[in-house]
Chain A
Amino acid sequence: QTVVTQEPSLSVSPGGTVTLTCGLTSGSITATHYPSWYQQFPGQAPRTLIYSTNTRFDGVPDRFSGSIVGNKAALTITGARAEDECDYYCVMYVGDGISVFGGGTRLTVL
């Protein structure tokens, strides 16, 4: 069974840049996994940030960007703000209609 890994927690200073990554326990992430990223605040439904590796969803600020770096998908926040402090999840599509969520990264802005 496919397992998608994320850093459990990261921190960034206000105005700084942070990169969250998403990997597979077996194999490399490629564009064919259609990497997507979601932001979730406590008590709320996830909010879509990035899809198809690097396409920003409607209304998402351009300080959020997606890429594939090496064998992982990456979400970079450039010029982090206090309001970016929340949980971030990646999702990989692994075929046969199956999506797999990463375990999530809790981002602290301090």
Chain B
Amino acid sequence: QVHLQESGPGLVKPSETLSLTCSVVDASFGVYQWCWVRQTPGRGLEWIGYMYPSGTTNSNPSLKSRVTLSIDGVKKQFSLRLASVTAADTAIYFCARRSFANYFDYWGQGARVTVSS
């Protein structure tokens, strides 16, 4: 059984840092890559970044300067921090598991985050 659940504040002020955590139920947490994907209102999906439990990570070049990813293999959680947010960062943020063939096989339900003062 695999289950992902996002959590974090639903409202963030402009210029502040967005923080989300994904809690995972997965007996094989240590062997997969864990990703963040977002969907802005009325627009498509955008890959944000990934982290492997060993610490290997990378992120979307367009967001790289603002993204920090972290992971806790004991708690089976991984986290996203997005700095200096603007209204353009208002989105639904999904966490997802990326499988060995580089596709997303399990998704969280999504967390809606609004950037507004």
A contact set with B: CB distance below 8 Å: 1, 34, 36, 38, 40, 45-48, 51-52, 55, 57, 87, 89, 91, 93, 96-104
Asked if B102 lies at the interface with its beta carbon under 8 angstroms from chain A, I say yes
Among B37-62, those with CB < 8 Å from A are 37, 44-47, 50, 56-58, 60-62
List the count of A-B residue pairs having beta carbons below 8 Å apart: 66
> Given that A99-B98, A104-B45 are known contacts, is A36 also in contact with B110, CB under 8 Å in the complex?
no
Asked if B108 lies at the interface with its beta carbon under 8 angstroms from chain A, I say yes
Chain A residue numbers with a CB within 8 Å of B37 are 101
Chain A residue numbers with a CB within 8 Å of B98 are 99
User: Among A87, A97, A99, which residue has the most Cβ atoms of chain B within 10 A?
Assistant: A99
Asked if B105 lies at the interface with its beta carbon under 8 angstroms from chain A, I say yes
Chain B residue numbers with a CB within 8 Å of A46 are 45, 94, 104, 107
B contact set with A: CB distance below 8 Å: 33, 35, 37, 44-47, 50, 56-58, 60-62, 94, 98-99, 101-105, 107-110
A51–B101 CA distance with the chains assembled, in angstroms: 7
A99–B59 CA distance with the chains assembled, in angstroms: 9
| Complex: chain B residue closest to A104, CB-CB | B44
The answer to whether A1 touches B46, judged by C-beta atoms less than 8 angstroms apart, is: no
7 closest A-B pairs by beta carbon, nearest first, are: A36-B103, A51-B103, A93-B102, A97-B58, A34-B102, A45-B107, A104-B44
The answer to whether B108 touches A99, judged by C-beta atoms less than 8 angstroms apart, is: no
A52–B89 CA distance with the chains assembled, in angstroms: 31
The answer to whether A91 touches B61, judged by C-beta atoms less than 8 angstroms apart, is: no
User: Among A36, A45, A87, A98, which residue has the most Cβ atoms of chain B within 10 A?
Assistant: A45
